[in-house]
A and B are shown apart, each in its own frame.
Chain A
Amino acid sequence: MTAPDDATSVTFPLPPAPSIYHPTPRLAELRANRPVAEVTLRDGSTGWLVTRYADVRQVLIDPRFSRAAAASSSASDTGLAMVATDSILGMDPPEHTRLRRLVAGAFTARRVEELRPKVAALVDALLTDLAAKPRPVDLVEHFSLPLPVRVICELLGVPPEDQHVFHAWSDTILSDAGADPAEIRAAMGNLAVYFGKLIADKRATPADDLMTALIAARDDQDRLTEKELVNLGFGLLIAGHETTANQINMFLLTLLHFPEEYERLAASPELVPRAVEELMRFVQLGEGSGLPRVTTEAVELSGVTIPAGAVVMTSMVAANRDESVFTDADRLDLTREITQHLGFGAGAHHCLGAQLARMELQEALRGLLRHLPGLRIAVPDTELRFKTGMIVRSLRTLPVTW
């Protein structure tokens, strides 16, 4: 058993988890013994780490935990945080709402359902090509990356053939803390120039896509600034592909690590929607804690008073394994009747693309099960090569065979 954990100091980020399938055991200790833990951040300053489901959900929803206050402080030095400072991710309502309402309509469940047949056809086409290749095949190059890239490009109106141009910049921006800030700024500058040109092209030749609609919201109604337009465009592009691509990889790795669950899904594909929710809860796409918040006043959580002006981190992976909400939380159970996992966050910043990601993940799983029966990873886990210093587990390649 773990000793009561009330004396040792906690440094954040925590050391990496020993497995890609479970959070670091340190998080379970903290959740049990010190659910609202004072931590020492990389720069030596003090922050708070929240690990229980109810507390994490509250921090994400409660406006006293401000993203704007965090973005304007030096609460984090990751590329994502640098993007966030100038974007919708670094705003609170009502400024946040002004931008969110412009784009939310394109990502509702109803609108996403209209895209499903096209996405299913794209999955079929990609997997038909993939299945004809000599084995092993790299799933990243031929399926998990091109699928979300093409979907978000089509939705935004970005030419998918420019993928090789923007993908490296996107990688740099999603670097973990520790990456060279000058490189991140350069990548952001490049993406801003790219989107500036794209916007000029769309102004000249409007199309039926989200960038054209956003340009109209700027030019006809003055609802956002030119800089906000550019940042929103490249923010959606980055958010729209890297996470989904790697989540497809992590879903497959996790399913194959629990082969009984994989077999169960293969035998009962009607379980796919429920399986996607359970995998969203269970899978360790990232180890981190999302974007920090800063308290606008003192707030009590689980009996602990967090002072005003404090940096607060939320561990969604710890919350998603909270036994008080999810029975036998460390077990993957694709038949689990799951509601309200925190895989997409919660509150004003709840993942804008959640419904789109759900649909893409459902179609990706259905496609993999149908096209590639007997699918397996062609290398042992020890030979999986993740890009270093990324905020999500991002595979360079994923060789598969069947």
Chain B
Amino acid sequence: MWNVEVSSECIGSGVCAGTAPRHFALGPDGRSRPLASLVEPDDAVLGAAASCPVEAITVTDADTGAPVDD
């Protein structure tokens, strides 16, 4: 399993919500949050993280805590 986090760096571009709508949505403040913090490995999550203009998304292995890179 993977842990997915969106940091306070988020500028609300909506890139992740448009790229991986099953994993990210924009909150009432216009900023992104993961729909679930613990997810099955899914390339769409890595694609969204790699596409974020402010590198606000981190994906880590839930067991080891190691970053999962694109």
| Interface set of A (CB-CB < 8 Å, partner B) | 57, 60-63, 93-94, 96-98, 100-101, 104-105, 107-110, 339-340, 344, 346-350, 352, 354-355
With an 8 A cutoff between CB atoms, is B54 at the interface? Answer: yes
Q: Which residues of A contact B26 (CB under 8 A)?
A: 61
Q: Which residues of B contact A93 (CB under 8 A)?
A: 18-20, 44, 47
Asked if A60 and B19 sit within 8 Å, CB to CB, the answer is no
Residues from chain B with Cβ under 8 Å of A340 in the complex: 11-12, 30
Complex alpha-carbon distance, A43 and B14, angstroms: 32
Out of B9, B12, B51, B54, name the residue touching A97 (CB < 8 Å): B51
By the criterion CB–CB under 8 Å, are B18 and A107 in contact? no
Task: Give bound CA distance, A355 to B12, whole Å.
Answer: 13
Interface residue range, chain B:
20 to 34
Chain A residues lying within 8 Å of B21, measured Cβ to Cβ, are 62-63
Contact for A100 among B11, B12, B51, CB less than 8 A: B51
Docked complex Cα distance between A97 and B20 (Å): 9
How far, in Å, is B33 (CB) from chain A's closest CB? Answer: 14
- The answer for the CA separation of A286 and B19 in the assembled complex, in Å, is 26
User: What B residues does A109 contact at CB under 8 A?
Assistant: 9, 53-55
In the assembled complex, 22 residue pairs joining A and B whose CB atoms fall closer than 8 Å, in A order, are A60-B14, A61-B17, A62-B18, A62-B21, A93-B18, A94-B43, A97-B44, A97-B51, A107-B53, A108-B53, A109-B55, A340-B11, A348-B14, A348-B18, A349-B18, A350-B14, A350-B53, A352-B53, A354-B13, A354-B53, A355-B53, A355-B54
Nearest chain B residue, comparing its CB with the CB of A107: B53
The residue in chain B whose Cβ has the minimal distance to the Cβ of A101 is: B50
Known contacts A101-B70, A339-B30; A61 and B18 CB within 8 A of each other: yes
Tell whether B39 is near chain A: CB-to-CB under 8 Å: no
Q: Which residues of A contact B12 (CB under 8 A)?
A: 339-340, 346
